[in-house]
Amino acid sequence: MRKGYTTGSCAAAAAKAAARMIFTGETIETVSLTTPKGITLHLDVECIRFQDGWVSCGIRKDSGDDPDVTNGICVFAKVEKIKESRIDIKAGEGVGIVTKKGLEQKIGEAAINRVPRRMIREAVEAEGKIQGYSGGFSVLISIPGGEALAKKTFNPRLGIMGGISVLGTTGIVEPMSVKALLDTIQLEMKVLKANGHHYCYVVPGNYGSTFLKETLGYEDGLAVKSSNYIGETIDIALELKMKGLLFVGHAGKLIKLAAGIMNTHSRQADGRMEILAAHAGMAGGNQRLIKKIMGSVATEAAIEQLKGAGLLEDVMESIMEKITSHLKGRVTKELEIGLIMFTMEQGIVGMTKNAMKIQERITEERK
């Protein structure tokens, strides 16, 4: 299936093209951008406008074969030079503003995530460096029609108002064909087993892969990416007669397992706050704390509430017990399953009792 590129890549490419045209004064038709995934894109530049002191242009989003509601939108960057040596990245028309805690950006800031911000900053800085420019830039990202489009997403529920988010951790959109994805999981696991690995890691996505490699220092090459299909991944492991799986993932995904939710996509089921609130109540949390948890828009924010109340350890202990129960209900004794759960702020917040044992098995097979 054909891959696409993210709104973050569009914003960075538009900013790069606009910055270049500020210095050269010449119209450019295409711009190249190397994404964090290492893939270089060659993108058409649209709707170029020159004014005194600034240039604006757009890059049209292509989601490939992924059914993305943002496919075909045009992401604009208006770039102008400023005297101060800094990069100001702001939200224009159609880009959402954060109104609740718990998201990557602070309240009042543009809903432009960390990786796209870095891509935009590096793109304009590189153009300035080529020209020997030591000043800064103001970059205004806008997405015409983004406010109407946001109503078709989860942004309003998350507290992102006025438009869509500028997202992406790799810069590339991976097509989400369920059959193709499950076939890939099966193939990756089959190859691992054929090479003597009967135990392996399972990560839902990029956050898990990064945490596995950079924070835990484990061998990334022994990880299978399951996306949202936790239950199907376990079923595949049983079919292949694997001996053990160690899931490593962000709490926003894996905490759903405490309610027996084996497909963690938000369209299938949520229940994150309900799970945290219920276990907080069992740990002695008062009504005020439970209301705060239920009012949180992201798992990180709810966990911060638990930490502040001194209940995080007790809550995670009971959640791990519940997750263990549901995982055992999916498998037979022939397959060991463990789990390590983390957040970006707290690091590891919970792990099942057998997690380190399975980790040792993976390490032994690697020798």
Name the 3-class secondary structure at 90: strand
Is it the case that residue 200 has pLDDT exceeding 80? yes
Q: What is the mean pLDDT of the chain?
A: 92
Mean pLDDT on 25-51: 96
Mean pLDDT on 60-67: 87
pLDDT digits (tens, 9 = 90+) for 238-275: 999 999 999 999 999 999 999 999 999 887 888 999 99
- CA pair distance 255, 195, nearest whole angstrom: 32
pTM of the model: 0.67
Q: What is the pLDDT of residue 158?
A: 74
Q: What is the pLDDT of residue 177?
A: 62
Q: What is the pLDDT of residue 49?
A: 96
32-40 contacts, C-beta under 8 A, 24 or more apart = 33/9, 33/119, 33/123, 33/171, 35/5, 35/9, 35/119, 35/170, 35/171, 35/172, 36/115, 36/119, 36/169, 36/170, 36/171, 37/170, 37/171, 37/172, 39/3, 39/171, 39/172
> Which is more confidently placed, 268 or 299?
299
Q: Which of 108-112, 150-154, 292-296, 340-344 has the lowest mean pLDDT?
A: 150-154
CATH, range 4-173: 3.30.2110.10
* Residue 51: CB atoms within 10 Å: 9
Confidence of residue 176 (pLDDT cuts 50, 70, 90): low
In the chain, what percentage of residues exceed pLDDT 90?
A: 71
Mean pLDDT on 216-224: 79
Is it the case that residue 220 has pLDDT exceeding 70? no
Question: Is 300:250 a contact under the CB 8 Å cutoff?
Answer: no
Is it the case that residue 331 has pLDDT exceeding 90? no
> Which is more confidently placed, 320 or 344?
320
Name the 3-class secondary structure at 80: strand
Sequence spans of domains, the chain: 4-173, 178-366
Is it the case that residue 34 has pLDDT exceeding 90? yes
Q: Which of 27-36, 42-51, 89-98, 171-180 has the lowest mean pLDDT?
A: 171-180
> Which is more confidently placed, 208 or 288?
288
> Which is more confidently placed, 78 or 180?
78
- CA pair distance 89, 125, nearest whole angstrom: 13
Identify the DSSP state of 334.
Answer: T
Is it the case that residue 290 has pLDDT exceeding 90? yes
